[in-house]
Amino acid sequence: MNKELRFALIKTLPIMTGFVFLGITYGLYMHQLGFNFWYPTLMALTIFGGSIEFVIANALLKAFNPWLTLTLTLIINSRHFFYGLSMLEKYKNTGLKKLYLIFGLCDETFSINFATVLPDDLKEKKYYFYVTLLNHFYWVFGAFVGGIAGSFISFQIKGIDFVLVALFIVLFMSQFMVKAQRSSSLMGLFVGLVSLLIFGSQFFLPIAMLLMVLLFWFEYKKEGPAHDGTE
């Protein structure tokens, strides 16, 4: 096992716990809707959109409406536009791997790849790829196991989506412990809470992300680009 893969594995172990557990729940949920294990497995492999996969699972049982599905997907995953803007520099010069890095840029992968400070002897581009690949694998594997297990388990587990909430709290605390990033963490927390109070739970996330991008852009313009010799 090379150094980048080993380091990525260590960093993604908390994600593995959440993804496999929630993926199993997703597979069970799909089975209860009447789908065999191939459906959650292939959807996890090709969509890799977390909560939108639960939404699409219900949409498969209703009249075919691709425009509604597209609109829901854009609204629910609109935050990924802002994630992508933040990763433009980090994913530069990655060749064909960039296509997969873009596809696999979920919330957790963004948090790890954006915040992790790598040792000098590791190649960052390889590390980004392995983090993306491992997180994708955890989700697909969990969905596959859940789909298989659905043949033997008939009860429905409620409230399981809190696993991701707990996971984000852990990621936030991990980033907050880095002194240089405390101001941005607190700013994100403040902007998110204010947006939630003003705009409500339906619209606060894209608005908060947009405000954060603008705030960081103004801060960047005020301080000027850092010349630290990194790529």
- Answer yes or no: do 103 and 208 share one domain: no
- Answer yes or no: do 12 and 118 share one domain: yes
Question: 91-97: which pairs have CB atoms within 8 A and are 24 or more residues apart?
Answer: 91/128, 92/231, 93/125, 93/231, 94/125, 94/128, 94/129, 97/125, 97/129
In a domain, 167, yes or no: no
Task: State residue 223's pLDDT score.
Answer: 66
What's this model's pTM, rounded to 2 decimal places? 0.70
Task: State residue 227's pLDDT score.
Answer: 45
| Domains held by the chain: number | 2
For the ranges 56-60, 130-134, 223-227, the maximum mean pLDDT occurs at: 130-134
Is a pLDDT exceeding 80 seen at residue 155?
A: no
CA separation (Å) from 128 to 9, 106, 125, 171, 227? Answer: 11, 12, 5, 17, 22
Q: Token pair 């996330």 is at which residue? A: 205
In a domain, 173, yes or no: no
Q: Domain residues for 220?
A: 178-225
Name 165's Cβ contacts closer than 8 Å, sequence gap at least 6: none
Task: State residue 8's pLDDT score.
Answer: 93
Is a pLDDT exceeding 70 seen at residue 160?
A: no
Residue 196, CB-side half-sphere exposure with 13 Å CA sphere: 7
- Answer yes or no: do 106 and 187 share one domain: no
- Answer yes or no: do 86 and 20 share one domain: yes
- Answer yes or no: do 156 and 202 share one domain: no
In a domain, 126, yes or no: yes
Task: State residue 228's pLDDT score.
Answer: 45
In a domain, 217, yes or no: yes
- Answer yes or no: do 107 and 23 share one domain: yes
- Answer yes or no: do 188 and 88 share one domain: no
pLDDT in tens, 182-209: 777 778 788 888 888 998 876 776 787 7
End residue of a domain, out of 161, 187, 209: 161
- Answer yes or no: do 157 and 192 share one domain: no
Is a pLDDT exceeding 60 seen at residue 1?
A: yes
Q: Are 140 and 22 in contact (CB under 8 A)?
A: no
Averaged over 57-82, what is the pLDDT?
79
Is a pLDDT exceeding 70 seen at residue 135?
A: yes
Q: Are 131 and 8 in contact (CB under 8 A)?
A: yes
Task: State residue 30's pLDDT score.
Answer: 86
- Answer yes or no: do 45 and 112 share one domain: yes
End residue of a domain, out of 130, 161, 192: 161
Q: Taking all residues of the chain, what is their mean pLDDT, rounded to a whole number?
A: 81
Structure tokens of 148?
A: 């298989």
In a domain, 58, yes or no: yes
Cα–Cα distance for residue pair 93/47, rounded to 1 Å: 25
End residue of a domain, out of 133, 161, 189: 161
- Answer yes or no: do 65 and 140 share one domain: yes
Averaged over 168-181, what is the pLDDT?
65
Cα–Cα distance for residue pair 32/163, rounded to 1 Å: 20
